A and B are shown apart, each in its own frame.
Chain A
């Protein structure tokens, strides 16, 4: 492996049109050319997937080699002399552009892509003034794919969409129907509708795949493009909010669409389509502001959602230091405790993995998370690993996940509540063969594997199979999710999983359970117990509620209306900017009224705590644009060495959850209150036939039940594709609800005599 790595890092030199260029061994000619600022025209090439090689416009000649080669897929050989501009090549490229333009409708005037269209640019670049090819046109109908519409007559069948859907999103529902001139893209999953990520639309070089909602509402050049960070999950993807005035009469700015630097990164459907969560039409309500100050003066605690910026978290922390509030954040608190228990064993202040590490892995364990719903970007990276490195993907969860079915190689089902046992079994199966400390060895020796295996329902053969498949793999990842953070034995689980980083050379990622859960847990000293007395709620219900949505006492800007930074799953501090104006008061105004001093919220950026790994960098110094395949926005948090010890408690008897169990999971592109406006989130409880029979309920029945904090009303929805006695329900069904739960994500339901479930 090391030898291979060294080989990869070897420099080679090639000559491109007389210019000497240096590149890495294994790079393609195109990659070296681009790295050296040399332009080779491409149509189908997109750097985030493997070369597609369908357009053949990147043809180049190599001295001494007969014929032409494709720069996008041809690996450069040291010393090669590459010719990219010649009369023949120009003619060849011009002919390709002519072929692309055969019967291409001359509707640039109305096409949404006009102005940012590769076909438009390249036909001009290659001076296609006349057409000498022809083909008989067939009747091609525009297809409606939900959020996307597909116009086959505009399609040039470059296959970008197919590759992205296959390699990155991992859904593989787009296919090319091969048929010469009549080739087209087909959506094989129209009925089930796909996950609506819109990735295919984003990479389409022409106007074939367009946003149905945006269609014909604006030309590309009219929109103002604001670089920002997605506000939905903890991946914090780079995106652009594109805005212009609402209408001729109403000059208020409105977001028309979201785009992303699609050559380099991807978005899920929430990021791309659920952007209208701004709190608009707000003016400065002086009376409400005064009431807010009064409320802060009498309050004893501040409850917050983790859907806030780092700077706001710091403001709240400073207010806590000044006035002694209790800071309550259910979403981040359990994560914070989990992370600190993890650090206490790993010896590092943060986990070591990131998304790029997942992408490069050849063996991946997903444990305790319904990952496609919790963090789609992690799923995309697992998919890339699966497609590019044939990664083994072991998925450990009590519920099967159909959306991961095409990616996972081994599904291990464990009993609800048995996570601690499963964690110990994993350590035993995967780490017992390597050099471990005496404490760990002693702990592993004390395990009653047979018993744990029986209790957790994870078969020993399954573990053996897992260990065998991981044996020869060198780039291994462990993805840990939110099921474990709220687990009663979370601390012990965290300590066990830290062994994977410490001894197993795994890239471990503790997926933050909410947008900025990592940031909040690093910046705030959160408290466990809420007081019964007066509380302030920030983006969550309190006695006095500040928030950007729902019934609030004082309006606050939403995440696309303020500037600030977020801490992403990659342990990266990234900036987000103001896409839409906000007319009301911000948290900084309140903080100033309460005795803190800062002109702007972003004055706090450089004050973010060094203890948490933040650097004293001004907001304006943070870069926002993606410039390469690796995310290089903002800066990475410093990982610090912390004291480590290895004291493991004996594993407790694994709890049993007999009967109907509810799993709290925001399915279908829901993360926080910010997505509710876009995707209907009916208050449903989705369960199998078996669940319905066990609980004696039927489809469409209304249920009342409680978890530890409050009562919920849900409609039961029978899902034939589900199995077992675990039902799924969303934790966010209305604004001001927190997305994550403080407690364990599974709750046991008990049937009451009068038919009401409690």
Chain B
């Protein structure tokens, strides 16, 4: 890092001054071998693509690149794998921490004496995808998913609880979130056990 930067001087020749010299340079550059090497690469790749089905182009929107786990796209609401019940307990921390104030929720005391989330919405017209909600969520219920296309016909689009919730028939496909707020691989080591002295 401390090494002095080395500059290499390229021998580019002198600047052609007369029209004759300029003409000579054009002819020299035109008939160099590099041109044909370039043409060969192009023809080779065209052949591969057309006849051998080998291409480097991602055919968006038919094809999409895999996105890294910490990417922050449209939120998902996860379910408990065992019971299929939604994970959200309605604690309201995501609503509280949201810096663009785009999360709103309604809760109530349900028949099973539990806190039920009766309504939940995120205003994606205002969401800045900062990831705080996913980070603060104590239940790993709200996470950032992979759906990053947020263009819509309306200026603001809203999502309701059901839109974000893993469909119950696709519960098996639900993947554990590895992004912000997810437990670290060494999380188990940090747990201190309560002594049971009785």
B163-178 contact mask (Cβ, 8 Å, vs A): 1 or 0:
0000000000000000
Expressed in whole angstroms, the Cα–Cα distance for A709 and B96 within the complex equals 56
Query: When the two chains form their complex, are residues A219 and B92 in contact, meaning their CB atoms are under 8 A apart?
Result: yes
Q: Given the complex of chains A and B, what is the CA–CA distance between A108 and B138 in angstroms? A: 10
Please judge, given known A-B contacts A110-B115, A248-B121, whether A130 and B90 are in contact too, CB under 8 Å.
Answer: no
Contact in complex: B91, A142 (CB < 8 Å):
no
Beyond A142-B113, A247-B119, A248-B104, whether A134 also contacts B89 by CB under 8 A is no
A142 to B192 alpha-carbon distance, docked (Å): 30
In the bound complex, residues from chain A placing their C-beta under 8 Å from that of B105 are: 248
Cα distance, A212 to B115, chains bound together (Å): 13
Contacts of B138 in A (CB 8 A): 109
- Asked whether A134 lies within 8 Å of B108 as measured between CB atoms, the reply is no
B62-104 interface bits toward A, Cβ cutoff 8 Å, 1 = contact, 0 = none: 0000000000000000000000000001111101100000001
Question: What is the bound-complex CA distance between A639 and B30, given in angstroms?
Answer: 110
Question: A216, B107: Cβ atoms under 8 Å?
Answer: yes
Q: Is the CB of A114 within 8 A of B115?
A: no
Pick the contact of A247: B106, B113, B116, B196 (CB < 8 A): B106
The answer to whether residues A222 and B119 also contact, given A216-B109, A247-B106 and a CB cut-off of 8 A, is no
Chain B residues positioned under 8 Å from A109 (CB to CB): 89-91, 93, 138-139
Q: Does B14 contact A (CB under 8 A)?
A: no
B91, B107, B116, B195: which contacts A132 (Cβ < 8 A)?
B195
Q: Chain A 115-137 against B: per-residue CB contact (8 Å), 1 yes, 0 no?
A: 00000000000000111111110
Chain A residue at minimal CB-CB distance from B197:
A134
CA distance A108 to B91 in the complex (A): 8
CB distance from A93 to the nearest CB of B (A): 20
- The contact of B108 among A129, A216, A248, by CB within 8 Å, is A216
* A172 close to B (CB within 8 Å): no
The residue on B at minimum CB distance from A129 is B192
* Interface membership of A215, Cβ < 8 A: yes
* Inter-chain contact A248/B115, CB cutoff 8 Å: no
Asked if A192 is an interface residue, CB under 8 A from chain B, the answer is: no
B87, chain A: closest CB distance, angstroms: 11
Contact B92 A222 (CB under 8 A): yes
Main secondary structure of the interface of A (DSSP, over half): loop
Given A110-B90, A142-B113, A219 contacting B96 (CB threshold 8 A): yes
With an 8 Å Cβ cutoff, the count of chain B residues facing the other chain is 27
Docked complex Cα distance between A230 and B161 (Å): 39
Which A residues lie within 8 Å of B96 (CB)? 219, 221-222
Chain B contacts for A221, CB-based, 8 A: 92, 96
Question: Does A10 count as interface, using CB distance less than 8 angstroms?
Answer: no
B20 interfacial contact with A, CB 8 Å: no
Q: Is A217 an interface residue (CB 8 A)?
A: yes
- Chain B residues 184-198 with CB under 8 Å of chain A are 192, 194-198
Complex alpha-carbon distance, A222 and B90, angstroms: 13
Residue of B nearest to A245 (CB): B104
Q: In whole angstroms, what is the CA distance A219 to B115 when docked?
A: 11
For the complex, give the distance between the alpha carbons of A114 and B115 in Å.
13
**Chain B residue nearest in CB terms to A247:** B106
Is the beta-carbon distance between A134 and B195 smaller than 8 angstroms? yes
In the complex, A248 Cα to B119 Cα: how many Å?
A: 8
Q: What is the 8 Å Cβ interface bit string for chain A, positions 247-276, against chain B (1 contact, 0 not)?
A: 111000000000000000000000000000
Let me know if A218 is at the binding interface, CB within 8 A.
yes
B106 CB contact (under 8 Å) in A130, A131, A135, A248: A248
Q: State the CA gap A221–B98 with chains docked (Å).
A: 14
B109 adjacent to A217 (CB under 8 Å): yes
Chain A residues whose C-beta falls within 8 Å of the C-beta of B195 in the assembled complex: 132, 134
Q: Complex Cα distance A212/B108, Å?
A: 11
Known: A216-B115, A219-B96. A110 touches B89 (CB 8 A): yes
B interface footprint on A209-233 (CB within 8 Å = 1, 0 otherwise)? 0001001111101100000000000
Chain B residues closer than 8 Å to A249, beta-carbon distance: 119
Residue among A108, A129, A216, A221 with the highest chain B CB neighbour number at 10 A = A216
Bound Cα distance A229, B116 (Å): 33
A134 to B121, CA, bound (A): 41
Distance in Å from the Cβ of A95 to the closest Cβ of chain B?
Answer: 14
Of all chain B residues, the one with the shortest Cβ separation from A251 is B104
Residue of A nearest to B191 (CB): A130
**B109: which A residues are within 8 A, CB to CB?**
212, 215-217
Chain B residues within an 8 Å CB radius of A132 = 194-195
* A222 nearest CB neighbor, chain B only: B92
- The chain B residue with its CB closest to the CB of A103 is B194
In the complex the two chains form, what is the Cα distance from A33 to B119 in whole Å? 47
Q: Is the CB of A217 within 8 A of B108?
A: yes
Alpha-carbon distance between A108 and B89 when the two chains are bound, in angstroms? 10
The interface residues of chain A lying within 8 Å CB-to-CB of B90 are 109-110, 216
Residues of B within 8 A of A131 (CB): 194
B192: shortest Cβ distance to chain A, in Å?
5
**A216 CA to B105 CA, complexed, in Å:** 12
Chain A CB within 10 A, most for which of B95, B96, B194:
B194
On whether the beta carbons of A136 and B92 are closer than 8 Å, the reply is no
Alpha-carbon gap, A114 to B109, bound state (A): 16
Report the bound CA distance from A159 to B108 in whole Å: 29
Within the complex, the shortest CB–CB distance from A388 to chain B, in Å, comes to 38
Q: How far is the CA of A666 from the CA of B123 in the complex (A)?
A: 49
B156 to chain A, nearest CB (A): 14
Min CB distance B126 to A, Å, is 14
- B192→A130 contact, CB < 8 A: yes
What is the bound-complex CA distance between A131 and B105, given in angstroms?
34
| Chain B hits for A114, CB < 8 A | 91
**Chain A proximity of B159: nearest CB distance (Å):** 12
Measured between beta carbons, the chain A residues less than 8 angstroms from B194 are 131-132, 134
Report Cα–Cα, A222/B104, bound state, in Å: 11
Interface 1/0 per residue, A689-727 and B, CB below 8 Å:
000000000000000000000000000000000000000
Shortest distance from the beta carbon of A646 to any chain B beta carbon, whole Å: 63
Tell me how far the C-beta of B68 lies from the nearest C-beta in chain A, rounded to whole angstroms: 29
Given contacts A130-B192, A132-B195, A248-B119, whether A110 and B113 have CB atoms under 8 Å apart is no
A134 proximity list for chain B (CB < 8 A): 194-198
Q: Which of A650-684 contact B (CB under 8 A)?
A: none
Q: Give bound CA distance, A129 to B91, whole Å.
A: 21
Give Cα A219–Cα B117 distance, bound, in whole angstroms.
13
- CB nearest neighbor in B for A106: B138
Q: How far apart are A528's CB and chain B's nearest CB, in angstroms?
A: 53
Evaluate contact between B107 and A218: CB separation under 8 angstroms. yes
A213 to chain B, nearest CB (A): 9
Q: Which chain A residue shows the least CB distance to B138?
A: A109
User: In whole angstroms, what is the CA distance A247 to B106 when docked?
Assistant: 7
**A132 → chain B closest CB, angstroms:** 6
Q: Which residue on chain A has the smallest CB distance to residue B119? A: A248
B119 CB contacts on chain A under 8 angstroms: 247-249
Pick 26 A–B contacts, CB within 8 A, sort by A.
Answer: A108-B91, A109-B90, A109-B93, A110-B89, A110-B90, A129-B192, A130-B192, A131-B194, A132-B195, A133-B197, A134-B198, A135-B198, A142-B113, A215-B109, A216-B107, A216-B108, A216-B115, A216-B116, A217-B108, A217-B109, A219-B92, A247-B106, A248-B104, A248-B105, A248-B119, A248-B121
Known: A110-B115, A216-B107, A248-B121. 20 other contacts (CB 8 A): A108-B91, A109-B91, A109-B93, A109-B139, A131-B194, A133-B197, A134-B194, A134-B196, A135-B198, A142-B113, A212-B109, A215-B109, A216-B109, A216-B116, A217-B109, A219-B91, A219-B92, A221-B92, A247-B119, A248-B119
B residues contacting A by CB (< 8 A) are 89-93, 95-96, 104-109, 113-116, 119, 121, 138-139, 192, 194-198
Closest 5 CB pairs of A and B: A109-B91, A110-B115, A216-B115, A216-B109, A219-B92
